[in-house]
Amino acid sequence: MRKHSIIYQYVNKRKKIYEILQKKPIFVTARFHILIGPSSLFQRINFKLKDITILKGYSTHFIERLIERDAPIKSLIKFDIINWRLVNAEIPTDTEKSVSTAWEFFANDKYWRVVIWFEKTIQTIINIDEYRTHVGIKIIKEGAFPDFF
């Protein structure tokens, strides 16, 4: 009976943590597109990622998208800053550290967009149209940018 009680407590604790995280974001972010965002931000991202050659991808979400979209795994894990095009960046509003970046590249006769989380981990992979610019509603298009750019 004690074993079931410990499992029950563990599951309830995990549920409470999950509920708290769902209600309140860990940090507020701002998303910038390379066509209209601050160039210094994108220059800094390129500089920080210039030495990375291998990406990791182990989340359930990523693996599901990889299989579902028949994405080219060999092209994905070999990060190539020269042939990949930086598209947008998402950063916390209270710090200058990048949270995620989106990159586009061409492989297996298709254009792909990869979202990289915290510099080295692939969050997701999307097959895209060659001419898609993706300047969506969450992209900051005007107003004051944070001082750290």
pLDDT < 70 positions in the chain: 1-27, 96, 98, 130-149
pLDDT of residue 37: 85
**How far is residue 129's CA from residue 70's CA, in Å, rounded to a whole number?**
16
Predicted TM-score (pTM) of the model is 0.71
